[in-house]
Structure 1
């Protein structure tokens, strides 16, 4: 059972998932996986919707666990896994530097409309652990937001690990806060793919974080399961994107008996050899690239130089799916020009009419 909570400080659209699970062995992009822990088809899911307010030695490769262990069930709401959306904007946040258009004037005049760059936190309440997905330029504010929504005991590490998708600024630039000028963390695990690891190890100021042992780079492998305990595991998968400095991945994250897909950046669905519908079918919730609503947002820019699947393209494609599949979809990673950042927009209405969703900053999902 996935239960959704909220916080009065933020406006959220919430989802309550009731999962009907089956024991289906599966594969992930050709790799065998476990039936419960890891990424596998969990059977059919029905969805109901409602409104609410809102130091170990360095290792080159992380250990993995492919055993299909049955996760322990936790009855207490406190002892759950929780996903918190810490930001839903594109790399530069909202409003964006240098933008004098009406879209950003609105956010500057109304602080409640401002949004951080896309980032998620996974909170393991039972084991008092917190993991960050993406380390954005808004890291300072997002860590504070996480402390407000899911506080931890003072005196322990603020984070237990950071997962990075790729080397575009909105996804790793917040690592600067881990150096001795700011937090001076102690061997904080940073999980990333091989090219991303090489990029951080070979270029300043990031390599200083490695040399001073403020971070430990942990190399991930596509399709390989990383266990974060008996009830949570992560699998990276490669996607086509502008890979100037690193490869790009999405993540499938197993949380107790549910699966969430996090895919904030991809060039175009048709450029990927994997049908996105097949991954939607095998997960219970999908956070997908919604950078641009359509191709008209950046007049004067060549959109082919910054390819993303337009939300209009995704809606046209996904409207053919059964309603139960569409309800899993939450768009995220919105450019400052994207009208879905305004709840009253026609763009938002189009998404909701097809029973898909807009991921909201501060939104919380409990598993």
Structure 2
């Protein structure tokens, strides 16, 4: 890395970390989103990885990164929700309780996007082998509900009422309370077991998109540039930075490369680029590495990267 790029990156990182801490301490908003995890389904470090990206963790250089998840918190109405039930759900729920809002209810509901391992398998911890929680609300689309109901071990959670479904329909807005609304929408993805959705999360003052998984932007019936312009924050699929990042045909695991997303927004004002928070990073993604040239350049262009602990007011 050149000296100039290193200075840009370090200054950018310092500003972002400072902003996170200030936001936690000084914000007056009673409704907000907090980032609880940023990694792809298998987390970081990745199982079986002996490359430098993961040995950086084992050598103590980088910390573990939890699987992608958002928390939605309303301190006024004393409610909190989780987006995604990840394998890291135990510590993510503890984060919400210890650092944001402690209530009698462990969680007021969990919103699922689809049936890939990082996005729903945390539900197992509500079963009798672990918490034995009763009637945890799970917000899910029709195919997702059918999959969980008809396939073990998830069907046991349904039978024993460890989880109870709140039905979602695409493009139908769900009013959570007098301050918050959530709207699911379909996106194209590898739908082996369920449909895949993203969410629009609306507060009284600001709105966010959450699209952790999608194939390619051009496969979606909507225009991502237009959709980002409609909101204040956009958490977008950033599984891979560029083509050739993993040793297998990447057309078989389609995601919008960060490079592709940046090209789509190349001509947009920096105020539009600033709305984007890349999330859902594969372990190979240089965006997970502290001093990568790729990340520094993207930040200099105005794009943001989600950081665990980040808080964005609604």
Structure 1 length as normaliser, TM-score?
Answer: 0.78
Q: Does residue 134 of the first structure (1) align with residue 134 of the second (2)?
A: no
Q: Does residue 208 of the first structure (1) align with residue 156 of the second (2)?
A: yes
Query: Quick one: structure 1 residues 350 and 111, their matched pair in 2 at CA, closer, same or farther if it must change by over 3 Å?
Result: closer
Q: Of 260, 268, 271, which aligns to 1:313?
A: 260
User: Offset at 1:78?
Assistant: 6.3
- Measured in 2, the distance between the counterparts of 1:350 and 1:187 equals 46
Point out the structure with the larger strand share: 1
Structure 1, gaps ≥5 residues long:
1-10, 16-49, 55-75
- Measured in 2, the distance between the counterparts of 1:257 and 1:192 equals 26
Q: Does residue 289 of the first structure (1) align with residue 222 of the second (2)?
A: no
Q: Which residue of 2 aligns with 1:334?
A: 281
Query: Quick one: structure 1 residues 218 and 111, their matched pair in 2 at CA, closer, same or farther if it must change by over 3 Å?
Result: farther
Query: Quick one: structure 1 residues 14 and 260, their matched pair in 2 at CA, closer, same or farther if it must change by over 3 Å?
Result: farther
* Alignment: residue pair count: 299
Secondary structure of 1:93's counterpart equals coil
Q: What is the alpha-carbon root mean square deviation over aligned residues?
A: 1.8
- Measured in 2, the distance between the counterparts of 1:235 and 1:151 equals 23
Q: Which residue of 1 aligns with 2:227?
A: 279
Q: Which residue of 2 aligns with 1:366?
A: 313
Q: Which residue of 2 aligns with 1:257?
A: 205
Secondary structure of 1:116's counterpart equals coil
8 Å CA contact retained: 1:12, 1:362:
no
8 Å CA contact retained: 1:240, 1:267:
yes
Secondary structure of 2:46's counterpart equals coil
Q: Which residue of 2 aligns with 1:119?
A: 69
Q: Which residue of 2 aligns with 1:325?
A: 272
Q: Of 176, 192, 196, which aligns to 1:248?
A: 196
Q: Which residue of 2 aligns with 1:107?
A: 57
- Measured in 1, the distance between the counterparts of 2:295 and 2:276 equals 13
User: Offset at 1:305?
Assistant: 1.1
Structure 2, gaps ≥5 residues long:
1-12
8 Å CA contact retained: 1:13, 1:363:
no
Secondary structure of 1:247's counterpart equals coil
Q: Which residue of 2 aligns with 1:93?
A: 43
